[in-house]
Amino acid sequence: MKILVTGANGQLGQELVQQLLKQNMELFAYTKSDLDICDLNTVIEVVKKIQPHVIINAAAYTKVDLAESNQELAFTVNAYGQRNLTVAANKVGAKVCYVSTDYVFNGNATEPYEEYALANPIGIYGKSKYAGEQLTQTLSTKYFIVRTAWVYGEYGPNFVKTMLRLAREKDELGVVSDQIGSPTYTVDLAEFIIELVQTEKYGIYHCTNGGSCSWYEFAKAIFEEANIDIKVNALTTEQYPTPAKRPSYSVLGDTALKLNNFKPARHWREGLKAFLQNYWK
């Protein structure tokens, strides 16, 4: 199977590449500098030349706060970049997989959002990703949309690495305690995506590690698992203002995953433990 991966230098992209290299796949991995997904003609040219069976778009503009003042760029990458890949996929009969986000929801729920719950993003980042979802659904009949959340892993910057770095620099930290979600280890997310795209079980999926927590609880768990002694104070969102509003509750339910006979990912604490065993020595 020929698989084309965009965003190959990103946090998830690098993990996808590492896992795909270990499998019997013909892999074509493109970084931002290799392929500008915002250029429709170039995308079509590359895809026609390769004739992939699957395109996995792991490229994204993920700077949530900066997106508020860079709306055009966020939509260009997250919506129209995905449109370009979907149009190109159609020309060669390829499946397309779009990695989306919990930020397509407004955060007013009190129980996990299922896959077909009404999306209503409150920030530019979420709006641009939801636009990408809509374009994918409109233009393709062979699509997978995989929403995920609070992603961390070996590659690139993320919350876990930030906490570990800050613990070296400070003896006390404040972390927001009134935003609830599900941390997701890139190893588990990439495994699911690779399994999914080899099927024809098209549609929207939610893939996070199991369970949920606040950022404060997540930070406490990081320090516990890493055996770091540091004082962590719980902050409210009001005490830690940011340019972009964030959903206060964005836990994703995984009904579609279960109904299509995929195995749910392990609990977030188990994923964290596995990551730290490899990364924090």
* Strand, helix or coil for residue 43: helix
Burial readout 23-56 (b: 16 or more C-beta within 10 A, e: otherwise): eebebbbbbbeebbbbebeebbebbeebebbbbb
Q: How distant, in Å, are the alpha carbons of 55, 84, 181, 193, 202 from that of 199? A: 13, 23, 28, 10, 8
The letter for the amino acid at 240 is Y
Report the run of H or E that residue 194 belongs to, with start and end: helix 186-197
E-state strands within 102-176: 143-148, 151-152, 172-176
Name residue, tokens 């005490």.
239
Choice among 30, 61, 98, 125 that is catalytic: 125
Q: How far apart are CA 46 and CA 41, in angstroms?
A: 9
**Token pair of 184 as six digits:** 């997701």
Is residue 185 part of the annotated active site? The answer reads no
Q: Which residue carries 């400070």 as its tokens?
A: 170
Element of type H or E holding 236 = none
- What letter does residue 82 receive in the DSSP assignment? H
Give the active site residues.
Answer: 125
